Structure 1
């Protein structure tokens, strides 16, 4: 029965290394890493006079969120987008991140609207290293939605 339970877990769990990133509907270069945004809300605490056993917690504004994409250094539309933003042309785009199962079918999709570049980190280069030159791009997020496929 342990084998059956193990298979059940494998059917439910999906590997985090199978994902596709597209920007405004266009597939992009292969990414080595994609860190999804943390979506959290501000909480307003309201103390009520005479009620000392708890504090009311009211939902406030959503806190700012960001997504980080890492890929190999090279000419790409992603890098062009960042360079344009450095020149003062801020263009907001829609980012779609799709998690794939072992059969390369979509399992879950995250849509990030009104994203724009806020930070670029260049590769760390060492003469004795055998690793790829990886760059990182951080994007500010507008609305973040998720759906099962």
Structure 2
């Protein structure tokens, strides 16, 4: 990733939900990707003979935050089918890759979720008012780890 004065825009990205054991890769025009993060937990430790009266912080386990993907409903049922298969006990963890693009659509960096699985699907809110809102679906994913790569 090149160092630059202005930050990259957040509206130009690609999402790929890698194969889940023989399933087709799902790539789509998602409008939102949010929640990516990692938390490291620390244990407090102090030797009984330490001269300093404070504890040390020792890195312990880490956990990956749940992520949310949103997109307009386009008739592609593969996301919901993934949820259906998971509900039925047919677990299909996937590698999810989110690639940030620059203004010229060159790849800049990627977030890679390993062993991602669906945890929640939310359908659209339908309301007969002004008629300007889009029918959106939302997919929440859990993952075992997240990595960040500069390209």
Q: What does the per-residue CA deviation read over 1:53-108, in whole Å, with 9 as the maximum and x for residues that have no partner?
A: 43210111112422111111232322221221122222101101000000000100
List, as ranges, runs of 4+ consecutive aligned residues in structure 1 with deviation greater than 6 Å: none
Aligned pair 1:116/2:112, yes or no? Answer: no
Give the secondary structure class of the aligned counterpart of 1:58: strand
User: 8 Å contact 1:48–1:56 — kept in the other structure?
Assistant: no
Give the secondary structure class of the aligned counterpart of 1:89: coil
Task: Name stretches of at least 5 consecutive residues in structure 1 with no aligned partner.
Answer: 1-7
User: 8 Å contact 2:63–2:145 — kept in the other structure?
Assistant: no
1:48 deviation in Å?
A: 4.0
Q: TM-score, normalised by structure 2?
A: 0.83
Q: Which has the higher helix share?
A: 1
Task: Name stretches of at least 5 consecutive residues in structure 2 with no aligned partner.
Answer: 20-24
2:67 and 2:136 map into 1 onto residues whose CA distance is 16
Q: How many residues end up aligned between the 2 structures?
A: 140
Aligned pair 1:21/2:22, yes or no? Answer: no
- Residue 43 of structure 2: aligned partner: 44
- Residue 58 of structure 1: aligned partner: 58
Q: TM-score, normalised by structure 1?
A: 0.84
User: 8 Å contact 1:28–1:78 — kept in the other structure?
Assistant: no
Superposition RMSD on alpha carbons, in Å? 1.9
Q: Which moved more, 1:50-59 or 1:108-117?
A: 50-59
- Residue 22 of structure 2: aligned partner: none
- Residue 101 of structure 1: aligned partner: 102
1:9 deviation in Å?
A: 2.5
1:125 deviation in Å?
A: 1.6
Give the secondary structure class of the aligned counterpart of 1:31: coil
